[in-house]
Amino acid sequence: MGANGEAFLYDAWFTNNNGSRGGAVFNRGLVHLYRSSLTNNSALGGQGGGAYNDFGGALFLQNATVSANMIVSPGPGGSGIFNLEDLRLEFVTIYSNNADGIRIDAGGHFTLENSIVAAHPLGNCTGSGGMFSNGFNIEDADTCGLIESSDLPNTDPLLGVAGSYGGNGLSHAPIPASPAIDSATPDTCIAYDQRNVPRPQGAGCDRGAVEVESGSLAPTPVPATPYGSVSGAVCYPSEGIPPMTLYFQNVDDQSVSSFPHLDGSSGYLVELDPGTYVAFAYPDGMSIGGSYSQAVPCGLSADCTDHSLIPFSVQAGQETAGIDICDWYGGPGDVPEPPGGLSITPTPTVSLPPMARFTMNAFCRKGPGTVYDTATAYEQGREVPLIGRSEPGQPLWWLTDLRCWVSDATVETSGPVDEIPTFPAPPTPTPLAPPQAPARFRISDWVCNEKLYRVTLNWVDQASNEDGYRLYRDGGLIATLPAGSTSYVDMPPRGGVHTYVLEAFNDGGASAQVSLKDQGCQ
């Protein structure tokens, strides 16, 4: 979600996604998730396996499960949620993500209420940000700042395995004797749980995402698939890694699982059913594939002539690492074709955006003309995108992506500038009148002796809109004085008579000048 975006989602299930940061959700705007599930997602960059809430983001989860998400790099990185800004959790279960549950960094903060955080080997809550409890939470350690009397730190929540207990997505239901049952706050109990089951079912609402239904304390879930995970490097024999698809073929039944790899990262992590696989990849629209072959452990040198694929095993609940898809040097037939065959697409014609390159240093103004104030300035050689142009019949000015205007005389344009829409000019600013001239300009004190030559000048400030005063001696500027000034002491050079000129000024110009002469000092 971008910085100005908003999303309010109900009954959403984010599963088996991956990204550099935020396997399922990356947010810089406003995101609310209700009755939703984030499970089995991966952050290849090591932060935010389930969700990454960036600077400027506000992320709110209610009646949600965040479980079995992964980060690739070792160490705490918020394998459930990584937060840098504002995070609020109500009736949420964050359980059994592969590293830490919630990571708060760089001044971020989060509020926890009626929620469960448990089963994280590197800590339920990590980082340096603020952690605030509104009470009625359960944690099986003491890392989340649970200080309210209704909180239960160092308490096993006694949850069942992830399964389909109803609703859209996976969840963890409390088992009999769970301290979550009937123990949530009586004041802010919400009407339904993650599965849209009414709350409460017993004497009170249950903590976490799932409300145990009356008479059914031990539901039989449809068990989640016992996935194993596979990780490794992605290579490509040129600068940068193009968008591609990773394929994992089961050698027993020849079924193929595919995963898009679009972010250009040099690593991957995916989940597969247990079995024996080979791995290969094809860039989008290309017929040359890469693989995990015998040439990879050989070192990919000219002497590595065996390009046969290496089978590897995937076991439930375990990670198979080092499956590096890096051999792009085999011959035709060394890499299996993907399901459905190869789909070669022509290289698309890249449409360049309208651009302007500055041929000189230039101001960017608040409207299309020099009567408008300056917004910013650009240096010669700078290139900027263009989003608009002045109306027909008017001098040609361009509207840049910073929403300010530059003269066509200062730039060279490229790209489809004729397709840029026109924008009306904003109202012309009312010209500012120059200030009134000072009055009674005079020498109020004059000293001339062997040691000192000093001239004290005074005047009456008659203006109410000046930015200041400029004082000249014998045609040269000797002082710029602030608004409201009424005197100046000068130490002129000895010699002949000196002429003093004074004017007030503002953005509208200068006042009429007033002048006087002193008698000189030899």
What is the rounded CA–CA span in Å between residue 229 and residue 162? 17
Q: What is the pTM of this model?
A: 0.48
What is the rounded CA–CA span in Å between residue 241 and residue 236? 6
Residue 339 domain-assigned (yes or no): no
In this structure, what CATH number is given to the domain that contains residue 285?
Answer: 2.60.40
Can you give the pLDDT at residue 222? 45
- Among candidate residues 196, 224, 252, the one where a domain is terminated: 224
Do 381 and 490 reside in the same domain of the chain?
no
Enumerate the β-bridge partners of residue 112.
Answer: 89, 133
Q: pLDDT digits over 378-430, tens only?
A: 999 999 999 899 999 999 999 998 889 999 999 999 999 988 889 888 888 77
Are 229 and 97 contacting, i.e. CB atoms less than 8 angstroms apart? no
- Among candidate residues 170, 197, 224, the one where a domain is terminated: 224
Can you give the pLDDT at residue 73? 65
Residue 183 domain-assigned (yes or no): yes
Q: pLDDT digits over 175-199, tens only?
A: 989 999 999 988 888 999 999 999 9
In this structure, what CATH number is given to the domain that contains residue 383?
Answer: 2.30.30
Are 138 and 157 contacting, i.e. CB atoms less than 8 angstroms apart? yes
Do 208 and 60 reside in the same domain of the chain?
yes
Do 264 and 372 reside in the same domain of the chain?
no
Do 268 and 408 reside in the same domain of the chain?
no
What is the rounded CA–CA span in Å between residue 42 and residue 25? 11
Do 380 and 468 reside in the same domain of the chain?
no
Do 379 and 310 reside in the same domain of the chain?
no
Do 485 and 366 reside in the same domain of the chain?
no
Domain count, the chain: 4
In this structure, what CATH number is given to the domain that contains residue 481?
Answer: 2.60.40.10
- Among candidate residues 298, 320, 342, the one where a domain is terminated: 320
Q: Within 13 Å, how many C-alpha atoms sit on residue 398's CB side?
A: 27
Can you give the pLDDT at residue 93? 96
What is the rounded CA–CA span in Å between residue 454 and residue 311? 97
**What is the sign of the dihedral through the CA atoms of 208, 210, 214 and 218?**
negative
What is the residue range of 259's domain?
228-320
Do 197 and 136 reside in the same domain of the chain?
yes
Q: What is the mean pLDDT of each run of 10 residues along the chain (522 residues)?
A: 85 87 91 93 86 92 92 77 92 92 87 94 86 91 92 94 85 92 88 92 92 65 66 84 92 91 86 92 86 91 88 87 90 84 57 87 92 88 91 92 90 91 85 90 92 93 94 94 94 90 92 92 83
What is the rounded CA–CA span in Å between residue 369 and residue 434? 21
What does DSSP assign to residue 171? B
Do 385 and 315 reside in the same domain of the chain?
no
Residue 260 domain-assigned (yes or no): yes
Do 187 and 287 reside in the same domain of the chain?
no
DSSP H/E element including 18 = strand 18-21
